[in-house]
Chains A and B, each alone.
Chain A
């Protein structure tokens, strides 16, 4: 199985400051169709995960533009330009290129 290593696992941030989360895959994530199926999800306590980003860098409808993502091959990054209080929770990356799809360990974002 592909291992996705996420860092940091805990991220205390100040409101208004930037934040960055990284994921590294144990294998390249380019599918046979040339696309890279890498996603980011946000999970608030007691809620289901909600997707933020698909195919490396595409923001879902309704996701604030303070969220951006980039990456290729094996290295991917999610950035929040200015953290807001509502951004707390756990962020997961996930590769959907190779079955079984695998998730990073999660990054818990909290406000300082």
Chain B
């Protein structure tokens, strides 16, 4: 059974930093492009960042470009999201998701909540 487990969320002040982790099991992690998708409270879904297999390519939403960084460690089956210069509007549940089929998100984690508040 595939499992994606996010961690690292919590309360952070505006302007602060946080690193999210997503540990994967039950799949051949190195074969999957990985994504972070967020959902603000009571709102819809927003793609945040993605990283290709081998970490060759990274992609960012305009709203987080130059503030967030996605990376992966295939030896640990883990993808990371380093978030900096956090703003109130970054407050959301952050999901990691695995792209097995091209152009789609096959598996999702349970999400980790990031709260930005002073």
Total chain B interface residues with beta-carbon distance under 8 A? 22
Q: How far is the CA of A1 from the CA of B35 in the complex (A)?
A: 17
- Total A-B pairs, Cβ < 8 A: 63
B47 cross-chain contacts in A, Cβ below 8 A: 99-103
A103 near B106 with CB under 8 A, answer no
Q: Say which one of B9-17, B19-27, B107-115 lies at the interface with A.
A: B107-115
Q: Is A44 an interface residue (CB 8 A)?
A: no
Does A51 lie within 8 Å of B104, measured CB to CB?
yes
Contact of B44 among A33, A35, A103 (CB under 8 A): A103
Question: What are the interface flags for B91-115 relative to A under an 8 Å C-beta threshold, 1 for contact and 0 otherwise?
Answer: 0000100010111111011110000
Which size class do A's interface residues fall under? Answer: 20 to 34
Q: From DSSP, what is the main secondary structure of chain A's interface residues? A: loop
* A100–B106 CB distance below 8 A: no
Q: How far does the alpha carbon of A39 sit from the alpha carbon of B106 in the complex, in Å?
A: 10
Interface: A7 (CB within 8 A): no
B60 neighbours in A (Cβ, 8 Å): 100
- Looking at B95, B101, B110, which has the most chain A CB atoms within 10 Å of its CB? B101
